[in-house]
Amino acid sequence: MIRLWIIALIFVSSMSLAAQNSYEFDSEAQRESFNRLTAVLRCPMCQNQNIADSDAMIAHDMRRKVHQLLQKGKTEAEIIAYMKARYGDFVYYEPPVTLGTIWLWLIPLIFIACASIIVVKRRKPQVSPDMAEKLARADEILKQDKS
């Protein structure tokens, strides 16, 4: 029975090793670039998961393409530009600020500013014209009493 468990353990552990992708790199700098790029590129199929962590087929293809482009001597910026051209700005976790995306930042700020103005105006007591006249008369009476 113990031999059966040992054999099963060997098969299971060898399957996990076979499932890992191993890419050959010319230098450690290329390996680091590959790791950085696969961490900042988003899988188009998965929700909020980078291509390094995704098991989707498209993520495998993207990792392979990143490896190929690095082997051809492309820079990280060129590889990101290639991926953005192919898959759109969604694929990059740091999308550019454009006229369409600036509203994502401005609308909450405008909302907070408007809400603050409303709160300040409601907290400030509004003096009616009748009350203003009474206050002015009271000020005159106080000035006369002091003199």
Alpha-carbon span 97 to 125, nearest angstrom: 42
Alpha-carbon span 25 to 32, nearest angstrom: 10
Q: Is the pTM of this model over 0.85?
A: no
Among left, alpha and beta (phi > 0; psi -120 to 50; other), residue 77 is alpha
Average pLDDT along the chain: 85
Domains of the chain: 20-91 (1.10.8.640), 99-145 (no CATH)
Alpha-carbon span 51 to 41, nearest angstrom: 6
pLDDT at 19 over 80: no
Tell me the pLDDT band of 112, cut-offs 50, 70 and 90.
Answer: very high
